[in-house]
Structure 1
């Protein structure tokens, strides 16, 4: 019999809708907006996009005049956009996902999400505390030390990007260090089927969540692994990109999320991600709506190695060097690892100099190829994702 995180996961649709409407109206009041009579009326409110939020924050730093409360941390994400963080139990609602992944009391979680400026490390640490697990605040990098710590401490669970676990496992194997990791809770990038199978072959059950720095956990997998169950603390709409109008059930559209967190009540926040509602409910018994998971970007913004690369960052690269005519970022895979390649049309210049600018502006390292002006396709793409998600 499935043990659930709480009773909210199995409530009826009517009970969920009534509770969500009450919480939503309370948050609308905090935002100075009138109450709604029905959740369907949410579609009439304007969509808030990252660009809008960034502009508001520049005008009214740090949170754009939103009714933020109980702030324990302030984080910075690319943009820059600033997000508040709290320390109350399961503030980002990540505990629900970790529980579904089988992580709880007695587990030691090696948390390989970053703790520097961005909130991912704290998001997963807060969730681990909610389920009673101990945490190794490992952060990113220093793989040899990560492998040694996992062995010496007896780590039983991993939290981090999907492909970095393989790096740790391979390093531990090369060092002759047996590990006890049997559970993995991943996010920040696509979990490719081949990589999930490799972990299963190594005796590791790997599940993924869909979360953002602004919203916390949005949806998550359970052991049933049939779609992603929408979290109880958010309302998810699937809309036609650029319009905010809900699509027909089952159609692909942009994910727009309203969080019911009273400390940071974002209303109709556009993620830029594409997904679709999956009919029915999960075989695991959780009754909330499911989505099909991440199905691409509504714009060209692409996540590579757990970091977003945005068209405006590519534009900054072009503007920084007078001899660059245009640039194109290409995301691909080398085995189970993300790879970034940057093609630069330029009348001259040095690839090494451009590579340093790429690392500085895109916050990622990648191979740089300088090509003659007119060489790149004239298809409007500045970021091309060649990875297969089948």
Structure 2
């Protein structure tokens, strides 16, 4: 310790102690204080708003009752209660509460009574700024600033008016700015909540549309698979029954074809439903049918009793699998309708024209037309075909031909986004 440190009148010890204080208060004690403040905020946030808003008036009343002289107690308590108690309802009616507090503060100024409860003006201003618009905040701030000027003119110490006025004005500005920040944050949070709710609603709508689209796709697939294979099996069964006595060998061949058709139907159904099960391997073992399988389809129809001629023009290796599946299903449904609704002896022709950007499908038959012009006696088949064609930007034309018979025509646009719903 130096000599200067030991002299009673020396100022060095005071400066030395001031330099040491920050280090002493930045240790574990300050950390404990921060934890206490955090715990107090957490505990306070769990209280009802009315209880939280009642804490400050209660503290102000306790303060005035414990610090005032008995002869000043009645007036001080009355003014403190008039200033602080309206704060309990400040969230419900911020402008009204501010007006009451400002009026009481003016009465207090007229009575020349200084109170700690004047802080209620800052709290009321903060509430107005947090819940009202810019105009209300400016008016309330101007009123409080006028009160600050009056208070400083009457109660500021001699020579301390500028410092006191600037300090009080800074408190007014801080209260208003904090309130505006709270309001801005609330508006931002409300906008985020609205956007989140809107996005959630849109996601739900998209999910419902996706489910509906997937249900429609599975329905079309099952309709085409079941209708086609059952129609072929029925036709083959009739042929087997007819030939079992006259030509047993032919009947045996037809029965084997029925069995093969049934197995193919089961395979197609497993493949179509495999997307709904993660443990279903058939969808990977059996590729989707496409243009390459049209010849097997035509042969199957020939065996079932519908002579079918197939003509595929152009290369199709560049065509997406879903587009090929669409073309296959269109041909399959058209031939199935012909097999079901035309008499024996009807012949069918299939023409598929493949190009770089389109796939044109034409299926015609020589059977008689429906009794009513434009009628579609094929249940859900033609609507399903229209949906498949529309997925690739095509329009399906199905109807009687000028020279007799029935025709189905469509042109698939490969540039369309129909791979999902095909």
| TM-score, normalising length: structure 1 | 0.21
Q: Higher relative CO (CA 8 A, sep ≥ 6), structure 1 or 2?
A: 1
Higher strand share: 1
Higher helix share: 2
Structure ID, larger Rg: 2
| TM-score, normalising length: structure 2 | 0.19
